[in-house]
Amino acid sequence: MPSLSLAIVLAVTLRVLDWRVEGAIVPVRLTRGQGISSSQVTTHGSCRFVTLTAERDDRDFWFARFSIGASRNLSILIDTGSTDLLLNPDVYRPSKSAIALSRPFSMRYGTVNSDGSGEETVRRDICSREGVSDHGRTQVNGTVFQDTVSLDNTDFSVPLQSLGVTTSISPGPRPPFPHDGLMGFFIPGSAFGEEVPNWFSSLCRQPSILDECRFGLALEPSTESAFLYLGGVEQSRYAGALSTAAMHERYVFGDVAVGGRIIHRDAAIMVDSGTTVSWGPIESVQQLFDAAGIRSIRRHNSTTLTTTLDGVYPCDTPPRLGFGFPSVSNALEARSSRLSVVSHASKVFDMLPAALAEHSDDQGNCTASIHGIDQEGDSWILGQG
């Protein structure tokens, strides 16, 4: 018994010391989903980027614990690809200081099953596409509140944070997000108004709470361990120089590479922890698969009018597919203009074979976790799976 309580005291002390001594960077351990089927919607300001994860388990998502209003210990998906805090129906209980804004919000999203089995994750930008049929689309409605939002086991608490509470989904009844809801870290562009700061930017505005307005994610699916770092760059989590790229609206520019050789320059890329697989423009992905010797399969869905491209390769000889950050041309520009925030050299990061294999069959064929789609414009979304 004494040794047990000592261990607990030590653990607690170490945990407190951890972030008192280092001060600047607070590590928050994330937990991984355990395999419940789920779906998910995310938005980007007036544009709606949407992910629907139909009948797919939540094992590829990472969650942190938040207390929101009078609801404690909620499990919230950490999403770098969207901006707002959104909660499932029946999760939120307002605190005494809550303000119910009279403004409702409404989102629509499309669903596509590219493999016909209902196990595909698809994201679509539906802000720029007028006249796309509403067939097969799902609608989520809700109301906006302001309330206190605190990250459990830290000092990080934001009063009067805007949050969206979903009240209805059609066709229902499945809740839109796995677990209790989703916390967007992407800046800018809230669905609650362009000037509305999200939780992390609200935190950054508090005097002397963070050394730097920066966060980082370190995900290690193989060890089931992941951390969210708030307040700076945790240098112990990477080797060599950090590659930094410039944001251009919602994207950074990167190069697409096969076997370390660049085949496509300056692709507009969004890096998104809330999407499990990766999506690119269908012709660029075709080019990538061809260059890598990956057999490709095109599928057209006549209901949603969407064409998708899947790639299949032998699991025992995975191709080397990678993305270079910043793009070579951005690095050259930064060097010639002596811009110090963007790296002056580009580095290609190859996908780990385990991350490239989305699933495998009995014959040793693997389906690539990169897919092409004809409805996403010219941009790529790199998921974290």
Instruction: Summarize as ranges the residues that interact with ligand NAG (CB under 6 A).
Output: 73, 106, 111-113, 116, 136, 139, 141, 168, 170, 295, 301, 303-304, 312, 314, 363-365
**Residue 27: partners with Cβ closer than 8 Å, 6 or more residues away:** 18, 19, 227, 228, 229, 234
Nearest residue to the partner ligand NAG, using Cβ: 170
By C-beta, is 111 or 150 nearer to ligand NAG?
111
The minimum distance between CB 300 and ligand NAG, in angstroms, equals: 8
Q: How far is the CB of 342 from ligand NAG (least distance, A)?
A: 40
Neighbours of 303 (CB within 10 A): 11
Cβ proximity to ligand NAG, 170 vs 206, nearer residue: 170
CA dist 110 and 133 (Å) reads 10
- 3-state DSSP call for residue 5? helix
Smallest distance from ligand NAG to CB 54, Å: 8
Least CB distance to ligand NAG at residue 122 (A): 8
Q: Can you tell me the distance from the alpha carbon of 210 to that of 213, in angstroms, rounded to the nearest whole number?
A: 6
8 A C-beta contact, residue 200 and residue 54? no
Distance CA 341, CA 326 (A): 11
Q: Which is nearer to ligand NAG, 112 or 245 (CB)?
A: 112
CB of 239 to ligand NAG, least distance (A): 34
Distance of CA 274 to the CA centre of its chain: 3
Closer of 106 and 206 to ligand NAG (Cβ)? 106
Our CB check for ligand NAG shows the closer of 331 and 368 to be: 368
Residue 226 near residue 29, CB atoms below 8 Å? yes
Phi/psi for 335 (5° steps) reads -70, -45
Q: Do 36 and 55 touch, CB atoms closer than 8 A?
A: no
**72 vs 261, which CB is nearer to ligand NAG?**
72
Contact 163, 125 (CB under 8 A): no
Least distance to ligand NAG, CB of residue 126, Å = 14
Q: Which is nearer to ligand NAG, 89 or 216 (CB)?
A: 89
**Cis check: omega of the bond before 2, within 30 degrees of 0:** no
Residues 292 and 319: their CA atoms lie apart, in Å, by 6
CB of 100 to ligand NAG, least distance (A): 17
We find the least distance from the C-beta atom of residue 319 to ligand NAG, in angstroms, to be 12
Closest approach of ligand NAG to the CB of residue 55, in Å? 12
Q: Using the minimum distance from each CB to ligand NAG, give the nearer residue, 76 or 258.
A: 76
DSSP 93: B
Torsion (CA) 276, 277, 278, 279 in degrees, nearest 10 = -110
- Nearest residue (CB) to ligand NAG, 113 versus 190: 113
Rounded distance, CA 19 to CA 64, Å? 17
Residue 154 near residue 71 (C-beta atoms within 8 A): no
Q: Pick the closest to residue 83 from 196, 216, 174 (CA basis).
A: 196
What Rg do the C-alpha atoms of the chain give, in angstroms?
Answer: 21
